[in-house]
Amino acid sequence: MTIGEFASFNIGILVYFAGVRLNGKITFLNRYNIPEPVSGGLFVAGIVLLVYLVSGSEIGFSLETRDFLLLYFFTSIGLNARFADLLKGGRPLALLLGLTIAFMILQNIVGVVAGVSMGLPVAFGLIGGTVSLVGGHGTAIAWAPTFAETYGVASAAEIGAATATLGLILASIMGGPTAKYLIEGRGAKPAPEVHEKVANIGFERDGDQVQQITHVDLMRSLLVLNIAIVLGVALQKAIGEAGLELPLFVVCLFCGILLSNIVPMLFPRLAWPARTPGLAVISEFALGVFLAISLMSLQLWTIAGLAGPMLIILGLQVLAAGSFILFVLFPVMGRDYEAAVLGAGFAGFALGATPTAIANMTAVTKHYGPATKAFLILPLVSAFFVDLANAAIIRVFLNLS
């Protein structure tokens, strides 16, 4: 049974509120910065699993609204990005990109070595690497026919989807505790002047004065978001015809960056929604409901189909990701509060997806204070560069097999 679009959307909102309630009641969830939509989403996914085990009925949710919320979220990130900030953050951005590429290579090495040591083909190890983890469900499904037909991995689509599902769960619960350890155990305390920006994607404010949000602010933000998304759809079609395939949310993010850095310069008197409370509200709403729907839609019974070797590979990948964050990423990025927040985000997309990374960082900054640089550079790396690099890295490993 698949629940319709309208009902799925509203259930997603209820699931978010359920997560807020759970985090308020269960000290562990709040203390270790587990995002509210993750708490509520996994709770509902557990109920759906129970229904399946008892009755054999599969409950699914329509995901079209969820996917559109993803466009809103990433486009808002693009609208908040300024070329001046990108240039200012050029070195951290380059460092994080280099670290991410290095980790992707490491993740595939771990998967391949572990798989081969158990007598499995290289392609099987790659499914337990960046194909399903950094790449997520979309990449796993896209590569499945190649792995099944060319490299002889039977049920590659099912194994990849189950691996990505479990990876998403692990990413959702790993980021908060990682940041808590780095902040409280490794001395990465936030600076005292934490009140300058809001602890999310970020909007500017005047001292301690709270800016009011009006319906005009929301309408302006929605209009600009929709314009950027329309341009993104057109641009994706154009570059697709030229032979380059990019996810729509990446193209929309890019269009948001272009609009925010061109339109205000050409029309300086035009009210622009970048870094305003109205855009921040829409962005947080889109992210929260997107994650709630994503987590409640997980078909946990598919994880039972994972073979023992893949579970071993996943365990090794969790150890690899945690070790990389603690001993490589955190020191290289400066051993400070921003680096700790980046650690939470890195755990989110290294095993799951970029929205999970942002949710992890948001949960951390709600407790400890904002981390503007982390919210600026991580989405650009994880959403914009990773998909391009991943395709090349996977191909290199397959050619070496």
Q: DSSP for 186-252?
A: S--PPPS-GGGB-SSS--B--TTPPPP--HHHHHHHHHHHHHHHHHHHHHHHHHHHTT----HHHHH
- Is residue 260 within 8 Å of residue 274, measured between CB atoms? yes
Between residues 376 and 95, which one has the greater pLDDT? 95
Q: In terms of Cα–Cα distance, which of 287, 358, 375 is closest to 37? A: 287
In this prediction, residue 195 carries a pLDDT of: 42
Which CA distances in Å does 357 have to 195, 269, 349?
23, 35, 5
pLDDT at 205 over 50: no
Cα angle 34-350-77, degrees, rounded to a multiple of 5 = 75
- Tell me the average pLDDT across 133-142: 87
Calpha distance 103→126 (Å, rounded): 14
Domain count of the fold of the chain: 1
Q: Is 312 exposed, middle or buried (0-12, 13-18, 19+ CB in 10 A)?
A: middle
Please report which confidence band the pLDDT of residue 187 belongs to, taking 50, 70 and 90 as the band edges: confident
Calpha distance 134→139 (Å, rounded): 9
- Is residue 141 within 8 Å of residue 135, measured between CB atoms? no
Torsion angle of the four alpha carbons 22, 369, 199, 172, in this order, in degrees rounded to the nearest 10: -40
Cα angle 220-224-225, degrees, rounded to a multiple of 5 = 115
What percent of the chain shows pLDDT beyond 70?
A: 93
DSSP classification of residue 63: -
In this prediction, residue 142 carries a pLDDT of: 81
3: β partners: 61
- Tell me the average pLDDT across 221-249: 91
DSSP, residue by residue, 79-145: HH--HHHHHHTHHHHHHHHHHHHHHHHHHHHHHHHHHHHTT--HHHHHIIIIITTTSHHHHHHHHHH
CA 378 to chain centre: 10
Which CA distances in Å does 394 have to 30, 108, 137, 354, 388?
37, 8, 15, 19, 11
Calpha distance 388→250 (Å, rounded): 11
In this prediction, residue 208 carries a pLDDT of: 46
In this prediction, residue 141 carries a pLDDT of: 85
Calpha distance 295→313 (Å, rounded): 23
Structure token pair of residue 27: 């000290």
CATH at 108: 1.20.1530
Q: What are phi and psi of 160, to 5 degrees?
A: -65, -45
Between residues 81 and 78, which one has the greater pLDDT? 78
Calpha distance 16→291 (Å, rounded): 9
What is the rounded average pLDDT for all residues in the chain?
A: 88
In this prediction, residue 204 carries a pLDDT of: 46
Identity of the amino acid at 211: Q
In this prediction, residue 188 carries a pLDDT of: 85
Please report which confidence band the pLDDT of residue 211 belongs to, taking 50, 70 and 90 as the band edges: low
Buried/exposed 32-43: b ≥16 CB within 10 Å, e otherwise = bbbbbbbbbbbb
Instruction: Give the residue carrying structure tokens 């983890």.
Output: 133
Q: Which domain holds residue 388?
A: 2-400
pLDDT at 339 over 50: yes
